[in-house]
Amino acid sequence: MNPLLRIAIQKSGRLQEESLKLLKESGLHFNNGKDQLKTQSENFPVEVLFLRDDDIPQYVEDKVADVGIVGENVFAEKQKQNELIRPLGFARCRLSIAVPRSEKYSGAQWLQGKNIATSYPNIVKGFLIKNKIEAGIHEISGSVEIAPGIGLADAICDIVSSGSTLQSNGLKEAEVVMNSEAVLIATPKLEKEKKEILDELIFRIQAVQVAKDNKYILMNCPNDAIERITQVIPGMKSPTILPLKKEGWSSLHSVVDENDFWKKINQLKSLGAEGILVVPIEKMIV
């Protein structure tokens, strides 16, 4: 039997859907759903294990899974024998210290001698050492944000995304300890066959990620504006130019970073660009 690369992803929660979507966009087909413990791809030598995200680093260290997808926060907290392969661009958030809104937070020294409730004791310990602060760490596994309100701690360290959870619990974000997004982790020293499968998967993931940041754009423009238009958008150094039937006009095609494009759209129009089309790219090999 061909070796299978075993990938652990979250069974249910914030990472589950995007993790599976990324694998599917990378061309992997699965015929059964996520309600199982594991599933095998029909067209790629990969088996997916569905686990609690907190357990994934340990499974990867123990080589029960070869690779895994977890939040960088979980990777950093667990401190297992995991190799960080690459960031995946979803589930972005930050791990922050938050204090009651009424407090005058003047900097990390405010935390001296205080008690911090968190589900991330190792990361908080590292933060305190780095800032030469001595403070108590109170480890709790859920509903961290209520700790100050019930007198359990002076401050918390927890995941923040929009900030509305802090807001509704009378807290304010005081210090960003780390930024996080979903990451691909792997067991160090993968055997050769599995490493080859992983390299192929990484290549495909990269093609999906690059494609997401770029758009294929087409526009019609007067010939005498081509030079200036290609200077406006940095990515458009060497566009494809096709003559239009209309005398003195061309169709200009290029691949550009979507953000650049939106910033320059008004400038393009004032230079005479018309009929602008922006088309998504499915895969892009650079």
Task: Give me the residues that bind ligand PRT (CB under 6 A), please.
Answer: 10, 13-15, 52-54, 71, 73-74, 91, 93, 158-165, 180
Tokens of 20: 């599976």
**Closer residue to ligand PRT (CB): 155 or 159:** 159
Q: Which residue is nearest to ligand PRT (CB)?
A: 71
Helix then strand count (H, E) for the chain reads 8, 15
**Closer residue to ligand PRT (CB): 102 or 164:** 164
**Closer residue to ligand PRT (CB): 96 or 214:** 96
Instruction: Say whether residue 140 binds Zn ion (CB under 5 A).
Output: no
Question: Containing H/E element for 97?
Answer: strand 93-100
Instruction: Say whether residue 54 binds Zn ion (CB under 5 A).
Output: yes
148 binds, among Zn ion, ligand PRT, none (CB under 5 to 8 A by kind): none
Contacts of 276 (CB under 8 A, 6+ apart): 217, 218, 219, 265, 268, 269
Q: Where are the alpha helices (DSSP H) in the chain?
A: 16-25, 56-61, 72-78, 121-130, 164-168, 192-213, 226-232, 258-270
Stretch of 20-28, 52-60, 134-142, 220-228 lying at the interface with Zn ion (CB under 5 A): 52-60
Contact call for residues 281 and 255 (beta carbons, < 8 A): yes
Instruction: Say whether residue 66 binds Zn ion (CB under 5 A).
Output: no
14 binds, among ligand PRT, Zn ion, none (CB under 5 to 8 A by kind): ligand PRT
Q: Which residue is nearest to Zn ion (CB)?
A: 54
Binding residue for Zn ion, selected from 6, 23, 51, 53, defined by CB under 5 A: 53
Contact call for residues 4 and 43 (beta carbons, < 8 A): no
- Which of 190, 183, 204 shows the shortest CA–CA distance to 8? 183
**Closer residue to ligand PRT (CB): 15 or 197:** 15
Q: Footprint of Zn ion on this chain (CB under 5 A)?
A: 53-54
